[in-house]
Chain A
Amino acid sequence: MFKKVLVANRGEIAVRIIRTCREMEIQTVAVYSDADKYALHVLEAHEAVHIGPSEPSGSYLNPERIVEAARKSGAEALHPGYGFLAENGEFAALVESAGISFVGPPSAVIRNLGDKTKARKIMQAAGVPVIPGTMEAMTDVDTLCGEADRMGFPVLVKAAAGGGGKGMRTVQGPEDMREACIAAISEARKAFGNGAVYLEKHLLNPRHIEFQVLADHHGHVVHLFERECSIQRRHQKIIEETPSPVLTPALRESMAKAAVSAAAAAGYVNAGTVEFLFEPPDRFYFLEVNTRLQVEHPVTEMITGLDLVRHQMEIAAGSPLPFAQGDLVKRGHALECRIYAEDPTDRFFPCPGPILLYREPRGPGIRVDGGIYQGFEVPVEYDPILSKVITWAEDRKAAVNRMLGALRRYPILGIRTTVPFLMDVVQSDPFIKGETHTGFIEEHFPNWSPPEKMHHVAAIAYAAGKSTGAARTRPAWTEKEIPATPWQALGQWTL
């Protein structure tokens, strides 16, 4: 096993990877930008290397600086997390050529699958059903408009190098096509360094169902069941669960089989996710393969009892999978809510700023993967994800109730978060009935505003607080610099 690993990411995922590495007695190296000098991943790693300015292109999206940090710190492997350079084949190739193990699939596989149009061709050849659309990617807006006219609206403009909803636009008619293409291309160029987009037929209200796969260097591929991620806003998943409320054992079996063939056809190695769009009652189409750890991987960990990061490390180090498909079982139901720094009372605008009060919910079956702490200033430069709340229980109803209780006990003050919105979604009738689809939020929560009945309680709390002097005041240091924590003051050491 590796002695030292560099984690080329920030936020909750960097923290989560560092924690498993520590359990495996692997030394960790964090990287950070100017804005992240006091970020949680920096505080939890054994070492931290400054790699550049706050602007992501100079730091977390800068392959040379990251590989240089890995080389200088003596890391034998590099874990890319998700986002940033995680699905960048050139970056993986650069890491490989530096003699460092990339914790993910080989660069050639990332390139093939990261090119969404090439991936569609591979899947078509392997007999996996794909969504109707164009097979070539481009940045030529005139040609894209012409193709869309031929296909018929609505269409989806998608970044060929994309993922996570960046560089993606749904277009209802020809009058919006031009600006949508320009915006998608610009966003894609910024997020992935490649602006090419392609078109897919926009399916009406499908479900998003994906399968987690693990593949080793010795030709073994297994799946770890599905995750349903239909609840999305702005093409970003916000609530995920497993098992899917809609899959029968027979459907699960046939989709899992397609997922394993898809991974095998692509020559996949390490942890990956095969995403499908599902049209009830039983049709499914290949969407894409995510060649990395997913944001929503914890729900799979909860029902299988496996630590995916640990298996990623073992696979990267050359170990064969310690189990066969028949050894894998799932138990109970798990749910994840992503907590974003967005203001649900003001059109979900991003809401960076200082965290003045922070307390995570605790209790049986509750897990919080977070990248923030009280006193941390959430930077304007990065993705608004702050943390994820994951709950596990014997069945779906109990997992949903546990989630609701956890969100009620999760104060994050100083900024605004999506917590109240998520609570309304998970306690809504259609969600409880499992009637989820990718248009769920637009259909049921088009112009969400918080319930007004709580205003009186807030008023009472204000007056009572005033009479007792309760309320945390903004600590003076958040104005300027955060003082060194005892851990930083002490420096690095190993017991």
Chain B
Amino acid sequence: MRYQLDIEGEAISLDFSPVEGENTADVSVDGVKHRVRFQTVPEGRLHLVIDGKAVEAFLVAVENGKQIFVDGHTFLVREAGNRSSKRPGRRSADEIPEEVTPPMPSVVVRILVKAGDHVRRGQGLVVVSAMKMETTLVAPHDGRVAGIRTAIDARVAPGDILVDIEKEVSENE
């Protein structure tokens, strides 16, 4: 079996060839070969022995892949072609998302701009609150506020675009 996997935004290719009966396989991950013995245990548990080293994994099926817990770490594993825009790859703290959308299910508590306002990249537009934590959504680029598509107290989710920012053609460019 050949897999093209997306693990937390990282592409990994894997070859899985069962050998010597059904509980052992030769596995090649991005070209690195491993001998793997495996045994399922009820309730989403998987006992693996990778190159002689025992590993416990826990698996659950989620929307378009599996969430896997290994040694304290949790991974979303998806097969390529099965990617959704809902969970983008890892993002650094100062990277600004391209769209004005909440990162988690939340409630709008403040709107800092109005239609027609000129905004700078990084300027705060809307403040949302989830689990008592307030987060400011910022402008992805310089521009003009073309429309506000939300209201105070609205329940919003990732993917909902809350503010439209129109790029302005600068006379200097």
Tell whether A398 is near chain B: CB-to-CB under 8 Å.
no
Instruction: Give me the 3 closest cross-chain CB pairs, A-B, nearest first.
Output: A472-B44, A350-B131, A471-B59
Tell whether B25 is near chain A: CB-to-CB under 8 Å: yes
B60-87 interface code vs A (CB 8 A; 1 in, 0 out): 1110001111111111010000000001
Decide yes or no whether A3 CB sits under 8 A from chain B. Answer: no
User: Are B75 and A455 in contact (CB-based, < 8 A)?
Assistant: yes
Give Cα distance in the complex from A474 to B3, angstroms: 23
Contacts of A187 in B (CB 8 A): 134
Q: Which of A351, A381, A409, A464 contacts B104 (CB 8 A)?
A: A351
B18 to chain A, nearest CB (A): 7
CB nearest to B129 among chain A residues: A190
Given contacts A357-B58, A381-B131, 12 further A-B contacts (CB under 8 A): A352-B131, A384-B132, A413-B58, A417-B74, A447-B92, A456-B32, A458-B77, A461-B55, A461-B57, A462-B59, A466-B16, A471-B44
| B18 contact set on A, CB distance < 8 A | 467
Check if A327 is an interface residue, CB within 8 A of chain B: no
Least Cβ distance of B156 to chain A in Å?
A: 11
21 contacts between A and B (CB under 8 A): A345-B90, A352-B105, A357-B60, A380-B105, A384-B133, A408-B71, A408-B72, A412-B69, A449-B92, A454-B75, A457-B50, A458-B77, A461-B55, A461-B70, A465-B40, A465-B68, A466-B1, A470-B46, A471-B59, A471-B61, A471-B66
A277 within 8 Å of B (CB atoms): no
Among residues of B, the one whose C-beta sits closest to the C-beta of A456 is B29
| Chain A residue, CB-CB nearest to B88 | A346
Cross-chain contact B29 with A459 (CB below 8 angstroms): yes
C-alpha spacing A179/B16, complex, angstroms = 55
B121-148: which residues lie under 8 A (CB-CB) from chain A? 124, 127, 129-135
- Kindly report which residue of chain A lies nearest to residue B63, judged by CB atoms: A474
With contact pairs A346-B91, A465-B66 given, residues A460 and B110 touching in the complex (Cβ less than 8 Å)? no
- Interface size of A by Cβ–Cβ distance < 8 Å? 65
Pick the contact of A356: B25, B36, B60, B106 (CB < 8 A): B60
Instruction: Check if B3 sits within 8 Å of A456, measured CB to CB.
Output: no
Known A380-B131, A455-B75; contact A449-B10, beta-carbon cutoff 8 A: no
B103 to chain A, nearest CB (A): 4
List chain B residues, Cβ under 8 A from A325: none
Residue of B nearest to A468 (CB): B40
> Which residues of chain A are within 8 angstroms of B77 by Cβ–Cβ distance?
458-459, 461-462
Collect the chain A residues with CB atoms within 8 Å of residue B58's CB. Answer: 357, 359, 411, 413
Chain A residues contacting B169 (CB-CB under 8 Å) are none
Q: Is the CB of B25 within 8 A of A467?
A: yes
* Contacts A455-B10, A462-B5 given; does A473 touch B74 at CB 8 Å: no
The distance in angstroms between the C-alpha atoms of A309 and B124, with both chains bound, is: 44
Which chain A residue lies CB-closest to B39? A468
State the CA gap A212–B18 with chains docked (Å): 59
* Separation of A238 and B14 alpha carbons in the complex (Å): 37
Docked pose: A471 CA to B105 CA in angstroms: 26
In the bound complex, CA of A350 to CA of B44 (Å): 25
* Contact yes or no, B72 A407, CB < 8 A: yes
The answer to whether B133 touches A474 (Cβ under 8 A) is: no
Whole-angstrom distance between the Cβ of A251 and the nearest chain B Cβ: 35
Q: Using Cβ atoms and an 8 Å threshold, which residues of chain B touch A471? A: 44, 59-61, 66
Using Cβ atoms and an 8 Å threshold, which residues of chain A touch B14? 459-460, 462-463
Check if A341 is an interface residue, CB within 8 A of chain B: yes
Contact of A347 with B91 in the complex, beta carbons under 8 Å: yes
Contact among A352, A408, A414, A460 for B60, CB-based, below 8 A = A414
> Cβ of B91: which chain A residues have Cβ within 8 Å of it?
346-347
Q: Does A450 contact B (CB under 8 A)?
A: yes
A381, closest chain B residue (CB):
B131
Contact with B along A412-454 (1 / 0, CB 8 A): 1110110110010000000000000000000000110111101
- Cβ contact within 8 Å between A356 and B67: yes
Q: Mark A465-488, 1 if CB is under 8 A from B, else 0.
A: 111111111100000000000000
| A410–B69 CA distance with the chains assembled, in angstroms | 9
Tell me whether A395 is interfacial, beta carbon within 8 Å. no
Q: Residue of A at shortest CB range from B56?
A: A409
Cβ contacts under 8 Å, A408 to chain B: 71-72
**Cβ contact within 8 Å between B67 and A347:** no
Is A116 an interface position by the 8 A CB rule? no
